[in-house]
Amino acid sequence: MAKIFCVANQKGGVGKTTTTVNLAAGLAKIGQRVLMVDLDPQGNATMGSGVDKRSMALSVYDVLLESASVTEAATYSEKCGYHVLGANRELAGAEVELVDVERRERRLKQALAAVDGEYDFVLIDCPPSLSMLTLNGLCSAHGVIVPMQCEYFALEGLTDLVNTIKQVHANLNKDLQIIGLLRVMYDPRITLQSQVSDQLKAHFGEKVFDTVIPRNVRLAEAPSYGLPGVVFDPAARGSQAFIGFAGEMVERIQKM
């Protein structure tokens, strides 16, 4: 049975997409069967996995509208070693098109049930909002991975997300839990970052992943080559951290 994780944080630019594609590539590297689902109409995770969002015949949009199955709409990225259920601008319309549909927040969950035996991990890249698309992600998932930068307002921003996750847990998906907080773009030389990191550990304890992702320019360069950093430059510090994170995730799911 596949373990399904959402990478979510309602803030933009915090490293969700970078985390999703690099974790997917890291897991693939250690022999896990991975499906990456892009739920952001910007399609950055799609492009960043070597799939051209403009020339996709079918996408996650078609899956949400039940006009295609996951198997039909997903493509295998040879370079990255995982399957991609891509997104593009079309997805922005799904919210409106599903407005009158019953149980619309469960569309993705239903679709993923059909491929449950085919993957070890399904990773869902969420848009920077708590929208119906994100809700579809949260309803499908066993857990949420929250990437965050150790900045002054980081903890404040977490409150909304934690409350949303609690509500989804109570009303829609009793499996849902925060798997962990992942410190990303971390620079230990910045005193504030190590202070916020300490606060995080004091507040969330075990929920803070051991792995820390450093700020690393190779991770930022990789998307322009249509690749995750882990594939583009596996030896880079940031890539090595994500490969380590994949190992930590495999360990965590054994305890779930």
Pairwise CA distance, residues 19 & 173, whole Å: 23
Binding mask 96-135 toward ligand ADP (x if CB under 6 A, else -) reads --------------------------------x-------
Pairwise CA distance, residues 238 & 100, whole Å: 44
The answer to whether 16 contacts ligand ADP (rule: CB under 6 A) is yes
Name the strand (E) or helix (H) holding 38: strand 34-38
Closest distance of CB 6 from ligand ADP, Å: 12
Residue recorded with tokens 């039940």: 66
Among 3, 11, 16, 109, binds Mg ion (CB under 5 A): 16
The answer to whether 17 contacts Mg ion (rule: CB under 5 A) is yes
Closest distance of CB 207 from Mg ion, Å: 22
Q: How many residues interact with ligand ADP (rule CB under 6 A)?
A: 18
Whether 16 contacts 126, CB under 8 Å: yes
Residues 17 to 56: which contact ligand ADP by CB under 6 A? 17-18, 44
Whether 12 contacts 149, CB under 8 Å: no
Among 148, 213, 227, 249, binds ligand ADP (CB under 6 A): 213
Segment contacting Mg ion by CB under 5 A, of 15-23, 65-73, 90-98, 164-172 = 15-23
Give whole-number Cα distances, 214 to 10, 38, 217, in Å. 21, 24, 10
By beta-carbon proximity to Mg ion, the closer residue of 20 and 32 is 20
- Using the Cα atoms of residue 82, residue 34, residue 241 and residue 126 in order, give the sign of their dihedral: positive
The answer to whether 9 contacts Mg ion (rule: CB under 5 A) is no
